[in-house]
Amino acid sequence: MHLLKYTLLAAAASASALAHGHAEPLLKIPAIWQSPLFKSSNHPVGSHSSPAPVKPKLQEAFQIHEPAPILTNTPQICSITLVSRSFANSYGSPSYLSYDPASFAGTSCSYPDEWTGLTLDIHGETRGRQFDRLGTVWVGNNRTGQGVEVMRLDNPEPTRTGVFWDIKKDIGKYWSLFSEKADVVFDLPNIVDDTYTGALNVTLKLSASVDGVMQSRGGKHRRRPVAQSALSLKNRSADVVIPLSKRLRTNNSIFLIGGSAGNGTTPITLPQNAARAIVEIYASGTATEEFWYTGIPDRFYNQIPDASEDGYYGHGTYREVQLYIDGTFAGFVTPYPIIYTGGINPLLWRPSANYGTFDQPTYNVDVTPWLGGLTDGKEHVFELAVVSSEEGGGINDASWFVSGNVQVYLDASGERTTGKVLKVQSGGEDVDGYTEGKLVGDPLTNGSLTYTVGLKRGRSFGVAGSIKTGSGVEYVAGWYQSAEYSNNGFVNATAQTNDQKSYGWTRSFVLGADKVDKVMDAGLSLDELQTLADTQGVGAVQLDYNYPLYAASYLSNTNFDVQVNQQFDRTVRRASHNSQRNDLNQLIGDETTFVHAEPVTALPHATLSRRTGTVDSVLVNGAIANGTGTSDQTFMYRDMAGGTIDRHTRTNTTSVLQDTLGGSASGRAQPAQLAVA
Ligand SMILES: *[C@@H]1O[C@H](CO)[C@@H](O)[C@H](O)[C@H]1NC(C)=O
Ligand SMILES: *[C@@H]1O[C@H](CO)[C@@H](O)[C@H](O)[C@H]1NC(C)=O
Ligand SMILES: *[C@@H]1O[C@H](CO)[C@@H](O)[C@H](O)[C@H]1NC(C)=O
Ligand SMILES: *[C@@H]1O[C@H](CO)[C@@H](O)[C@H](O)[C@H]1NC(C)=O
Ligand SMILES: *[C@@H]1O[C@H](CO)[C@@H](O)[C@H](O)[C@H]1NC(C)=O
Ligand SMILES: *[C@@H]1O[C@H](CO)[C@@H](O)[C@H](O)[C@H]1NC(C)=O
Ligand SMILES: *[C@@H]1O[C@H](CO)[C@@H](O)[C@H](O)[C@H]1NC(C)=O
Ligand SMILES: *[C@@H]1O[C@H](CO)[C@@H](O)[C@H](O)[C@H]1NC(C)=O
Ligand SMILES: *[C@@H]1O[C@H](CO)[C@@H](O)[C@H](O)[C@H]1NC(C)=O
């Protein structure tokens, strides 16, 4: 075996890279299923003459997740099945159906107006050999638009004996779509043949609940939390959800973005009485961008012969998704790196997938400051782009999967909202990045490349606009955000490491017109904003995020060892001049930008997942023959009602070794307490 032919990314790609593109997978996948570790019986691999085994017990594959529904305890739950299908050769043939809330007739949840909770529930089973696949769920109607993405998911890779998984997602924010007749699409493209034998047997359910109860944290002097009945989703959720997608009724509406594929563009007309609007973005790199955080800066990439043949990709490591409204930059999001269950080394993710794998996180940009100009009843163009920090912002061709929606809250008057943009930070679209590094010889033979990709200054953007609703409420709405980024990379023929730091904050605020310069120019901390809140009626909600990632792979003739440490950290805080008021019942889901003129703002909440994973695996003929992965994950969660989950989980490839689960909301933990070996 010629060692140098086995570049690390090729090994990683063989496990999964092409599984997410639209092309069929061509690279070989690890022959891990041939390992004695994965044998369910003594029958030789691939023997077709062996008698059918007794249906084996499937192992649970899981992802630690926040409770769903978020916030409410739900005594009365009603479920309907939307799709139940064995996804085998399902490329280009999604499931689509007509949904009618009348399906809940005869249950306790007959009336959507009474629902206090809403979730999408996935149950899947798979056995054999298969990649992980990227699935999506879409909902829409002919009036407000088809093709609103409401969930993006990955499956665990199967084993010979089979695995199952369950994940529930809170979709209360999409209540308006599910409260009436809708067209639903569930796309889970899979291929089954003699080699890739695992069908994905998946059931997708919609669960509504009524009579939900929220545990309010109560006043300072109250010892115990107080239960209050939850307001209906109708009262809490956005009134209209408008798709930013291809808007198809019977197919996947995803925008494939990058290079020749261009950007994702949607012309939309907003209701004239829109009083507040948030753009939510779904975004993940796939195919040649699946491992975007390992990209080699262009100036080095262009000097490495055979880089692309050996499975390396260029355009550096920085990616951001940008939002433009009528060609004007309106905000950006820096994505959390999603690592699928086939990513880098599949043994990293068994049986414990990383946070964000079975239900990908999304990102918000508050576009309320622009509303005065968007409520004219005319069409406005919303565009989503993905850029790098390289010259020209280029990324690899057609390999980001992106979609979005606009969640609109209406003013009760029905009259037009007016106002204008008062201040916008110019040049927000320019990513001022740099690359440094040293290339010695050819890193694909006996040389090496050491590099850093970063942002020269913290990246920031801000906009403030006046709003006057038909009901006469007048205020200034602001959106302000800041991001820091760096990635130290190393590549040679047998090792690759990337140490990525990506963190920042986003802030929605409400204030009087005379405070705009003061609040936007001063680079105020949230504590300083609180002082203004107390004295001058400013309100703000801030999301702090931090997504560090360390990934290291080491290859030899006989071994492929990996370490991946990753964190997902989001904390929402607020500065409010009405901080005594408990607005819990006005809140929805994982809201991060909730600021009303009223003022109703999000209550503090936080999600922190910190996971380390290692694999030592043995290679035979360049494929993984056997090995052991370990994971160690802490999960800390605090919801807006003060409910907490505090969890520590350890696994190896075959077993759950520890699951310490505590906190006042542990009864709603997802998954529930795991059985420990
Ligand atoms: C969905 O789109 C794919 C790719 O464009 C196409 O091949 C397929 O026929 C479409 N399926 C349906 C049901 O429209
Ligand atoms: C999935 O469904 C197919 C078709 O019904 C069946 O043959 C297979 O055994 C199922 N797989 C699992 C893991 O249940
Ligand atoms: C949208 O229009 C199509 C074509 O007329 C129709 O089949 C579908 O049922 C409509 N969707 C809804 C939710 O009414
Ligand atoms: C909830 O919505 C209903 C209308 O569906 C309205 O009558 C009621 O006042 C609302 N309640 C609150 C607390 O906003
Ligand atoms: C996509 O958006 C980027 C960023 O604004 C821009 O540079 C590029 O020209 C756009 N591409 C197309 C095809 O419109
Ligand atoms: C790599 O190998 C070549 C050919 O044997 C040799 O000339 C060169 O000095 C080596 N480079 C390094 C960095 O070791
Ligand atoms: C690649 O780098 C690693 C870590 O520094 C080192 O152990 C290994 O020997 C290097 N491999 C080659 C082929 O230079
Ligand atoms: C892993 O595979 C290697 C090569 O086939 C073999 O020598 C070794 O015993 C295997 N280890 C285990 C734990 O099965
Ligand atoms: C995982 O740990 C369990 C319990 O200690 C042990 O029995 C099992 O052999 C371990 N599996 C691997 C692959 O190391």
Res 262: pLDDT: 94
Residue 677 CA: which ligand 9 atom is closest? 4
Higher pLDDT, 520 or 577: 520
Q: What is the pLDDT of residues 68-80, one digit of tens each?
A: 998 888 889 999 9
Residue 22 CA: which ligand 1 atom is closest? 4
Give the residue carrying structure tokens 């990045």: 433
Bond preceding residue 351 cis, omega within 30 of 0: yes
Note the residue count of the chain.
Answer: 677
User: From atom 1 of ligand 3, which residue's Cα is the shortest distance away?
Assistant: 142
Going by C-alpha positions, the residue among 545, 556, 492, 496 that lies closest to residue 317 is 496
Res 8: pLDDT: 34
How many angstroms separate the alpha carbon of residue 354 from the centre of ligand 8?
27
Q: Is the pLDDT of residue 223 over 70?
A: no
Residue 249 falls within a domain, yes or no?
yes
Give the whole-angstrom CA distance, residue 543 versus residue 541: 7
How many angstroms separate the alpha carbon of residue 8 from the centre of ligand 1?
34
Residue 98 falls within a domain, yes or no?
yes
Res 535: pLDDT: 73
Q: Is the pLDDT of residue 582 over 70?
A: no
677 lines ligand 6 (CB under 6 A): no
Res 587: pLDDT: 62
Ligand at minimal distance from the CA of 123 is 2
448 lines ligand 6 (CB under 6 A): no
CB 600 within 8 A of CB 594: yes
Q: Is the pLDDT of residue 449 over 80?
A: yes
User: From atom 3 of ligand 6, which residue's Cα is the shortest distance away?
Assistant: 446
Residue 50 falls within a domain, yes or no?
no
Res 604: pLDDT: 73
Res 10: pLDDT: 33
The answer to which of 20-24, 194-198, 526-530 has the lowest mean pLDDT is 20-24
Residue 47 falls within a domain, yes or no?
no
| Beta-sheet pairing, 163-170 with 421-424 | unpaired
Res 641: pLDDT: 80
Q: What is the pLDDT of residues 455-469, one digit of tens each?
A: 998 899 999 999 999
Give the whole-angstrom CA distance, residue 64 versus residue 167: 9
Q: Given phi > 0 = left and psi -120 to 50 = alpha, else beta, which region is 299?
A: alpha
3-state DSSP call for residue 236?
helix
Residue 583 falls within a domain, yes or no?
yes
Residue 183 CA: which ligand 3 atom is closest? 13
Domain count, the chain: 1
Q: Is the pLDDT of residue 97 over 90?
A: yes
Query: Confidence band (pLDDT; 50, 70, 90) for 54?
Result: low
Res 592: pLDDT: 56
Query: Confidence band (pLDDT; 50, 70, 90) for 46?
Result: very low
Q: What is the 3-state secondary structure (H, E, C) of 18-35?
A: HHHCCCCCCCCCCHHHHC
Q: Which two tokens stand for residue 37?
A: 């570790």
308 lines ligand 6 (CB under 6 A): no
Neighbours of 630 (CB within 10 A): 17
Q: Which amino acid is at 44?
A: P
Query: Confidence band (pLDDT; 50, 70, 90) for 201?
Result: very high
Q: Which amino acid is at 361?
A: P
Residue 636 falls within a domain, yes or no?
yes
Res 18: pLDDT: 31
Ligand at minimal distance from the CA of 653 is 9
Indicate the burial class of 88 (C-beta count within 10 angstroms; 0-12, 13-18, 19 or more): middle
Residue 317 to residues 14, 285, 528, Cα–Cα distance (Å): 21, 12, 34
The answer to which of 44-58, 79-93, 216-230, 521-535 has the lowest mean pLDDT is 44-58
Q: Which amino acid is at 428?
A: G
Q: Which two tokens stand for residue 105?
A: 């007739």
Res 621: pLDDT: 80
Give the whole-angstrom CA distance, residue 151 versus residue 145: 17
Q: What percent of the chain has pLDDT over 90?
A: 69
Query: Confidence band (pLDDT; 50, 70, 90) for 416?
Result: very high
Query: Confidence band (pLDDT; 50, 70, 90) for 417?
Result: very high
Residue 422 to residues 65, 256, 514, 523, 648, Cα–Cα distance (Å): 40, 34, 11, 18, 48
Q: Which amino acid is at 639?
A: D
Res 601: pLDDT: 59
Res 576: pLDDT: 75
Q: Is the pLDDT of residue 245 over 50?
A: yes
Q: What is the pLDDT of residues 249-305, one digit of tens each?
A: 999 999 999 989 999 999 999 999 999 999 999 999 998 999 999 999 999 999 998
* Averaged pLDDT, 47-60: 62
Give the whole-angstrom CA distance, residue 538 versus residue 606: 23
- Residues sharing a CB contact under 8 Å with residue 148, sequence separation 6 or more, in sequence order: 138, 139, 140, 174, 177, 241, 242, 243, 245, 405
Going by C-alpha positions, the residue among 390, 499, 471, 490 that lies closest to residue 434 is 390
Give the whole-angstrom CA distance, residue 588 versus residue 71: 8
Q: Is the pLDDT of residue 450 over 90?
A: yes
CB 120 within 8 A of CB 150: yes
Residue 158 CA: which ligand 2 atom is closest? 13
Give the residue carrying structure tokens 């949230």: 526
Residue 472 to residues 371, 467, 514, Cα–Cα distance (Å): 15, 9, 19
553 lines ligand 7 (CB under 6 A): no
Q: Is the pLDDT of residue 4 over 50?
A: no
Q: Is the pLDDT of residue 52 over 60?
A: no
Going by C-alpha positions, the residue among 71, 476, 419, 81 that lies closest to residue 237 is 71
Q: Is the pLDDT of residue 26 over 50?
A: no
Sign of CA dihedral 21, 25, 30, 33: positive
* Averaged pLDDT, 106-131: 95
CB 173 within 8 A of CB 407: yes
Q: What percent of the chain has pLDDT over 70?
A: 86
Higher pLDDT, 319 or 218: 319
Residue 296 falls within a domain, yes or no?
yes
* Averaged pLDDT, 379-399: 96
Residue 52 falls within a domain, yes or no?
no
Q: Is the pLDDT of residue 355 over 60?
A: yes
* Averaged pLDDT, 535-544: 82
* Averaged pLDDT, 106-118: 96
Going by C-alpha positions, the residue among 383, 380, 328, 338 that lies closest to residue 359 is 338
β-bridge partners, 227 = 215
Query: Confidence band (pLDDT; 50, 70, 90) for 596?
Result: low
Res 584: pLDDT: 58
* Averaged pLDDT, 121-139: 95
List, chain by chain if needed, residues with CB within 6 Å of any ligand 5 atom: 262-263, 322, 385, 387, 393, 429
Query: Confidence band (pLDDT; 50, 70, 90) for 475?
Result: confident
Query: Confidence band (pLDDT; 50, 70, 90) for 531?
Result: confident
How many angstroms separate the alpha carbon of residue 494 from the centre of ligand 7?
6
Query: Confidence band (pLDDT; 50, 70, 90) for 625?
Result: confident
Q: Is the pLDDT of residue 225 over 90?
A: no
How many angstroms separate the alpha carbon of residue 235 from the centre of ligand 4?
6
* Averaged pLDDT, 20-35: 33
Q: What is the 3-state secondary structure (H, E, C) of 133-159?
A: CEEEEEEEECCCEEEEEEEEEECCCCC
Bond preceding residue 337 cis, omega within 30 of 0: no
Task: Determine the structural domain holding residue 459 and report its residue range.
Answer: 4-41+57-668
Give the whole-angstrom CA distance, residue 521 versus residue 330: 18
